[in-house]
Amino acid sequence: MGFTSALRPPLATLPFPPHRSFSIVTVAIPASTPCRDHRRRSPSAQQRLTPMAASISSVGFPVPLTVHSSSPIEDGKASLFTVSPPPNPTLKTPTIRSRLSKLCQEGKPELARHLFDTIPQPTTAMWNTIIIGFICNDMPVEALRFYGEMKKGGFPTTKGDYYTYSSTLKACSQSLNLGAGRAIHCHLIRCLEYPSRIVYNSLLNMYSTCLSQLGSSGGSEFSKYDAVRKVFDTMGKRDVVAWNILVSWYVKTERHVRAVRQFRRMMKMEIKPSPVSFVSVFPAISAMQDLDTANVMYGLLVKLGGEYTTDLFVVSSAIIMYSELGCLDLARKVFDCCLVNNTEVWNSMIGGYVQNNRPREAINLFLLATQTGQTDNISFLSVLTAVSQLQCLDLAQQLHGFVIKNLGSLPVIIQNAIIVMYSRCNTLHTSFHVFGQMQERDVVSWNTMISAFVQNGFDDEGLILVYEMQKQKFAIDLVTVTALLSAASNLRNLQIGKQTHAYLLRQDIKFDGMDSYLVDMYAKCGSIRTAEYIFWRNITRSVKDQATWNAMIAGYTHHGLVEEALATFNEMLQQAVSPNAVTLASILPGCTQMGSINLGKQLHAVSIRHLFENNIFLSSALIDMYSKSGSINYAENVFARTSDKNSVTYTTMILGYGQHGLGSKALSLFHSMGDSGVKPDAVTLVAVLSACSHAGLVDEGLRIFNSMEMDFNIEPSVQHYCCVADMLGRVGRVVEAYEFVEQLGEKGDVLQIWGSVLGACRLHGCSELAETVGEKIRQLEEAALHGGVGGYQVLMSNMYAGEGDWRNVDRVRKEMKEKGSMKLVGRSWIDIGGHVARFSSKDQDHHQFDEIYGTLEGLALEMKHSGA
């Protein structure tokens, strides 16, 4: 994950620092003013309200405040002011302003309000003081309310000045009140013939801040993409603050090239950039992935001197820029050159290591930061993510204790990160324990735990938690929806998928990548036609992105519709949608199904040409394709050339060795994973057990199986039990395989496990035991309402046919017919001279049908004569 440090505000629109302490601006006051209570206006005063004041009131400013005869005052503070009788007329205006200022500085704006209400005729300076005071106390709505009161007063002494408008525009920025900001803009155009640069900068900042929160529409009068530029162009003289706001605005609207262009234009106009200028432009450079420009900008920064290179906001931004460009060596040089670092600088460097998947460096730097006391919650979030990347349980437990020791009461955001850390370390029960012990949960906590269940294969538990989440009155959001769709895909549960889709339609929810999730879910749940409908309905809208194309191609491949997958891939190219590594990884399994290694090689060449070869998932797909196509040497070459290997890469290579009967190589590669710092996962153990099964390495396989929980902290699943049963059955230890499954109890009451035992019975001719196992399978099928598959009945039928027991063959086939079971028709592909031919069982449509079957009959006779 990326970590963004807190940056210095891009401009100073107020005449004081953006903190609670501030200075008061002295404004000339007339020597004699009429003493009239602004709260008790005469009708003539009401008539003097200008149309613009009425316009501002319509934006949302309330009616003037009413002062009550008595107000609650803190003990000991009553001497500060009185409501009745009126204050001493000899009390100097600066004294009142200083009292207002002091109360606001002390964080007591309500007391300042009461004092202000006792003033019969406030001056502009007093209005500015109370408005600024509320802004500094993070109460922008109250500041705008006082501005409305001021404009409704109608007295000459309450005419707004530059500080009034700059302050109220700052309040609009803080409250994201674009309507009030526009009204104030209109008012200052009427009242100020020549606005100052401070006012213009405040106006720029208001539009930049408010419009960036509106998404694609910025209103009817000012569009999102030109309002800031229009104000900027109307300025007579622009200082560096105005340029900084414009650059920052282009970055906010993701127009990074323009941001860099405006920075260069500022330099050409001989306006010296400030440190904030670099803070504003660095994100644009990192988004452009332009290392040359980054080096030029940082070189300029160094040339400008120590004021820039020692500014911690600039240092932090430079570290983030180089980290996002993947240049951690340069980022570390910037970090090391900074003699005095604060927490933000440390966090930027630690976050850079985490973002670039270098967890060890992140942890080492975190330990250094703890020695200097430069850590905060962001630091702990970063190091928790680093440990998650390492998937090291011992380190996770140590860090958990360290976090509790240093933070005591853990914030919710830290506890959420701990849940993720333990789930990545394959200790989901610990994640759930942390979740259960949380005194307070937010929606992120629920989504984190639900996603952890789904990502670790506990989809049912994830669905139960979604139900519990709703009972606790937490609303389902986009993260929950994506987890639900993933769970439906994993479980092949079309009903849950449809319910989730209906929820999206009912709530009119749309999000980036939604179609790809839906296509993937419907395809994996067997509803390929619905997936096609969702995919192709968007062709006229031209919104299909790479993820949606990839999901459709993968769906076709998953269902064996290789020709449709290839046709969709060609259509993707014709639509000028560039394929990525996932596209190629999705279509490569189709090459295996077709038996077309030539097509696989062509896709491999495409990956090299587009520099995708080092992508982990594409490398794994290439290894799998070459292994299943019989080219284990090519698979080994791809594995060796993959620089950044993970558990998926190792697992795929181990599976390839197992498929080729190279059990010793599979075991050797498995044991080398620890030396490479890659931790095996549950799928890796399935692969190595399968390799031992194919190679007949029973003792080694059993040793690994028995050490799963102790050495790898992985609880055996159905797939592991199937591998053990198959491993024992292949070497003739059929009874031992039967006893192994029997002693599993309820854990072994799974069709796949007993199916492995039944396959062993058929292989070694154990008819009596096969009857017992077959009866067990029939009971499980009836209990699970699985009677329509017929796979194990087919296995029984083939076994009886091999023994010549035609009576039992007829009995089993009769049962299959009564249950409506059917054997799926198999299809085969063969690559001959670059042309792929397709065949299906009992296919008589091929133009060389007679020649093919004649050749098969001839081969069958030769096999019979040779005793094969």
Phi, psi torsion values for 673, nearest 5 degrees: -60, -40
Query: Distance of alpha carbon 338 from its chain centroid, rounded?
Result: 32
Mean pLDDT of 381-405: 94
Mean pLDDT of 303-308: 88
pLDDT at site 5: 36
pLDDT at site 685: 94
Q: What digits encode the pLDDT tens for the residues 796-834?
A: 555 555 555 556 656 656 665 555 544 445 556 565 555
pLDDT at site 766: 82
pLDDT at site 299: 94
Torsion of CA 734, 735, 737, 740, to 10 degrees: 180
Among 534, 530, 582, CA closest to 559: 530
Domain 19-29+45-68+79-230 has CATH 1.25.40: yes
Q: What digits encode the pLDDT tens for the residues 590-620?
A: 888 877 788 889 889 988 888 787 788 899 9
Q: What digits encode the pLDDT tens for the residues 188-226?
A: 888 777 778 888 899 999 998 888 877 543 333 444 457
Q: Please report which confidence band the pLDDT of residue 787 belongs to, taking 50, 70 and 90 as the band edges.
A: very low
pLDDT at site 10: 37
Question: Does 654 score more than 50 pLDDT?
Answer: yes
pLDDT at site 32: 35
pLDDT at site 568: 92
Name the helix (H) or strand (E) containing 481: helix 478-491
Q: What digits encode the pLDDT tens for the residues 90-114?
A: 445 667 778 888 888 888 888 888 8
pLDDT at site 843: 63
How much is the pTM?
A: 0.69
Question: Does 428 score more than 50 pLDDT?
Answer: yes
Q: What digits encode the pLDDT tens for the residues 501-537?
A: 999 999 888 888 888 999 999 999 999 999 999 998 8
Cα separation values, 577 from 75, 113, 161, 199, 256, Å = 72, 61, 56, 47, 23
Question: Does 445 score more than 50 pLDDT?
Answer: yes
Mean pLDDT of 750-757: 82
Question: Does 427 score more than 80 pLDDT?
Answer: yes
CA distance 261 to 255: 10
Q: What digits encode the pLDDT tens for the residues 689-717?
A: 999 998 889 999 999 999 998 888 888 88
Length of the chain: 868
Sort strands 835-840 and 827-832 into parallel, antiparallel or unpaired. Answer: antiparallel
* CA angle (5, 8, 14) in 5-degree steps: 150
Average per-residue pLDDT for the chain:
80
* Domain extent listing, the chain: 19-29+45-68+79-230, 827-866
Residue written as tokens 């609650």?
A: 72
CA distance 53 to 41: 16
Mean pLDDT of 5-16: 34
Task: Kindly report the number of other CB atoms within 10 A of residue 379's CB atom.
Answer: 21
pLDDT at site 554: 93
